[in-house]
Chain A
Amino acid sequence: MKLSQIFAQFRRIDPDPQYSEKSKRVILAHPRETVSVRGAGIMVFLRALETGAALVLAGFFLLLATGSFSRNKYLAPVRYSVIDPTGLQAEAQAIDIQIRLANLDYSEATSTAAQSTTPVAGTAAHLFSLAAKDASSTASSTATGIAASSTASSTSLSVNDALQALSQ
């Protein structure tokens, strides 16, 4: 085979469409860097440096890392959101909530528990109620709490229990 033909085959490499879709979505959802510069003079100075803003950042950071900068309220160090505890905390909390949801025993949905006449719907409501209450940092609800909002009495049978009784 000719090498040019092989390279022509290479041209057929394409990324997975699902990956592309997701990657694009994530990227475009990402806020842009903001570069704020006061004074046209500073801008001209930066542009005059062939390597531009990234170079200044490199210089900044080297000095910061070696502790050569003195503290100055105007000298906001290069901020990395990777060290932003609030953001990290919020993201970690969201994961904790999902873990709690995942650990709900939704086998209750098919149990003969009498606490909800519609255990599947009750579990669904429970899942969301749990998430909603966690969002407001209050105690999580229980299935009985949800069932309390329904009109069924505590002696109501679940669907399965009723069918069990009617099959005999």
Chain B
Amino acid sequence: MVDGGDNQELDLIKAAVGGDSSAFGVLYDRYQAMIYRFVMIKVGRREEAEDITHQVFLSAWQSVGTYRHKGFPFSSWLYRIARNQIIDHYRAGANRKGEVSIEKTDPESFAAAVDYAGNVAAKIELETVRAAVARLKPDYQDVIILRFVEDMSLKESAVALGKSEGAVKLLQHRAVRELKKALAGDPSLSFDIQ
């Protein structure tokens, strides 16, 4: 992840805040995949992930004028927008279709998104883990994704989640515990995270 203190990024952010669309475009190129991953792990469907990611960056572009750089990565701000968009999305989805079940995922969509040359068993393993993560409480999902998928530091995760480092540490501990419980029945998985 790009260090928020990176001068080039600061220049880009300043330019984007000032309305420079090509500067925002560069930021888009840098962070879009990351946000998409975040969303995709949670929603599990490519189409929904695309819609939500689009809305994240649209909102970001529309409100970047109010962004104030405080020494943390620009991605942290984007993650906050993404979290809110996912909440809105599920809320709207619940209103539209009744109970929205996160079980309604298309394994092919997710497996295709991962795009790896694994065998069928490996694909199933991946989807099992993804679905288990997606069944966690949203705060737990967030910390799992930011800490273990995106390799964010405790500090960066805290900013992205709008919490203190201590709170994130506790969340992580609980999230991993819950994930272990959810995946306990899978003998092929070994837990090497904590």
Which residues on A are within 8 Å of B, measured CB to CB?
Answer: 1-4, 6-7, 9-16, 19-20, 23-24, 26-28, 30, 32-33, 35, 52-53
Asked if B41 contacts A13 (CB within 8 A), the reply is yes
From DSSP, what is the main secondary structure of chain B's interface residues? helix
Shortest distance between the CB of A30 and any CB in chain B (Å): 6
Q: Which of A1, A16, A19, A35 contacts B189 (CB 8 A)?
A: A1
CB <8 Å contact, A7 and B148: yes
On whether the beta carbons of B53 and A23 are closer than 8 Å, the reply is yes
- By the criterion CB–CB under 8 Å, are A13 and B114 in contact? yes
Residues of B within 8 A of A27 (CB): 28, 54, 57-58, 61
The residues of B with any CB-CB pair to A shorter than 8 Å are 19, 21-22, 24-25, 28-29, 32-33, 36-37, 40-41, 46, 49-50, 53-54, 57-58, 61-66, 113-116, 118, 122, 125-126, 129-130, 145, 148-150, 179, 183, 188-193
Contact between A14 and B126, CB atoms less than 8 A apart: no
Task: Find out whether the CB atom of A13 lies under 8 angstroms from the CB atom of B36.
Answer: yes
Chain B residue at minimum C-beta to C-beta distance from A33: B62
Please, which residues of chain B bring their CB within 8 A of the CB of A24? 25, 28-29, 32, 57
Tell whether, in the assembled complex, residue A16 and residue B58 are in contact, meaning their CB atoms are under 8 Å apart.
no
A-B pairs, 10 with minimum CB distance: A15-B36, A28-B21, A13-B37, A7-B148, A23-B54, A10-B149, A2-B192, A33-B62, A13-B113, A6-B129
Question: Would you call A28 and B62 a contact (CB within 8 A)?
Answer: no
Bound-complex Cα distance A12 to B179 (A): 21
Chain A residue nearest to B63 (CB atoms) is A33
Contact B149 A35 (CB under 8 A): no
Asked if B24 and A28 sit within 8 Å, CB to CB, the answer is yes
**Bound Cα distance from A35 to B19, whole angstroms:** 12
- A117 CA / B113 CA spacing, docked (Å): 53
* Chain A residue at minimal CB-CB distance from B121: A1
CA distance A32 to B22 in the complex (A): 13
A2 to B122, CA, bound (A): 12
B122 A1 Cβ-Cβ under 8 A: yes
A53 to B66, Cβ gap below 8 A? Answer: yes
Residues B61 and A28 in contact, CB atoms below 8 Å apart: yes
Q: Write the nearest CB–CB distance from B62 to chain A, whole angstroms.
A: 5
Instruction: State the CA gap A72–B29 with chains docked (Å).
Output: 44
Which of A7, A13, A30 has its CB near the most chain B CB atoms (within 10 A)?
A: A13
> Are A1 and B188 in contact, with the CB atoms below 8 A?
yes
With both beta carbons as reference points, the residue of chain B lying nearest to A53 in the complex is identified as: B66
CB distance from A110 to the nearest CB of B (A): 39
A-B contact pairs, 14 of them (CB 8 A): A1-B188, A3-B189, A3-B192, A6-B126, A7-B148, A7-B193, A10-B41, A13-B33, A13-B37, A14-B36, A15-B53, A26-B58, A27-B61, A33-B63
Least Cβ distance of B8 to chain A in Å?
19
